[in-house]
Amino acid sequence: MTGGGRGIGRGISLLLAEAGARVVVNDLGASVSGEGASKSPADDVVAEIRARGGQAVSSHHSVSEWDSAQDIIATAIDAFGRIDGVVNNAGILRDRIFHKMSADEFMAVLQVHLVGSFNVSRAAAEHFRNQGSGAFVHMTSSTGLIGNYGQANYGAAKLGLVGLSRCIALDMSRFGVRSNCISPAAFSRMTANLPSETEHQKALLEQTRKGLAPEKVAPLAVFLMSDLASNVTGQIFSVRGNEIFLYNQTRPVRSVHQSQGWTPESIAEHALPAFKSSLTPLEAIADVFSWNPI
């Protein structure tokens, strides 16, 4: 369980243990922006699991480096003799409006969310292949699925995770391995910077705190990790409070054909009018999702 020491990750770690899983709680203990490190987040959750009679060990390795990710999986093998599932939840934020975003800010977020998820998943993949079973759960976001302000780096990483998950599902289905995504709506330290200047924004934040506890995400994650979801793979789900959503798979919604081919002018004259009713206005995206921490 990467990023298992706080928020959504903590909730999933605790429920996994309650369901009988032996849990590796991995957390570097860094700040939201990725600086610093502390053993306390992972160790505290492990202590809580053990106090409840469960089995857990800590891992303080970073997901962003290949060798370190290998060590995370090795921790599970050394402690418990096998590995049956991976939840890729570790992440950081480096929010910045796009025209001011630096290359370092962009790459740092991709390195943790996308590359980190690849690193940990790849480290587990050989074990899954050899034993003929395994489950991946990757945390995506509506910032990747829909879009959001000031999060081009985060959105690119989170939509990249959807592509990674789908390809893992296809590549590893022959070995009985499943891969799914969750887009969680929850109030945690990752959403603490949501705007709260107007009365409307303050009301939305208060609603978020009350109804979108990070623990609400855990039941779906544990379900997807379990044998109860043995036939579920390649899917994108979302949790918002007591609601669970299934996202559609990306597919064409309309097509036009012209036997002589297209020019820029003929596209403007014939294709664009045909597509216009299917285009999503930017204002509609911004109005619905700019505040919502999914």
Catalytic positions, please? 154
Element spanning 88, H or E: strand 85-88
| Three-class secondary structure of residue 179 per DSSP | strand
> Which of helix, strand or coil describes residue 6?
coil
CA pair distance 220, 180, nearest whole angstrom: 11
C-alpha to C-alpha distance for 166 and 164, rounded to whole angstroms: 6
Nearest one of 20, 27, 63, 62 to 42, comparing CA atoms: 27
Of the candidates 102, 122, 84, 90, the one whose C-alpha atom is nearest the C-alpha of residue 229 is 84
* Strand bridging mode 134-139 / 23-26: unpaired
Rama region for 152: left / alpha / beta (φ>0; ψ in -120 to 50; rest): alpha
The span from the CA of 169 to the CA of 180, in Å, is: 8
DSSP label of 151: B
* Residue 196 structure tokens: 């709260």
Specify whether the CB–CB gap between 220 and 242 falls below 8 A: no
HSE at residue 105, side-chain half, CA atoms within 13 A, is: 16
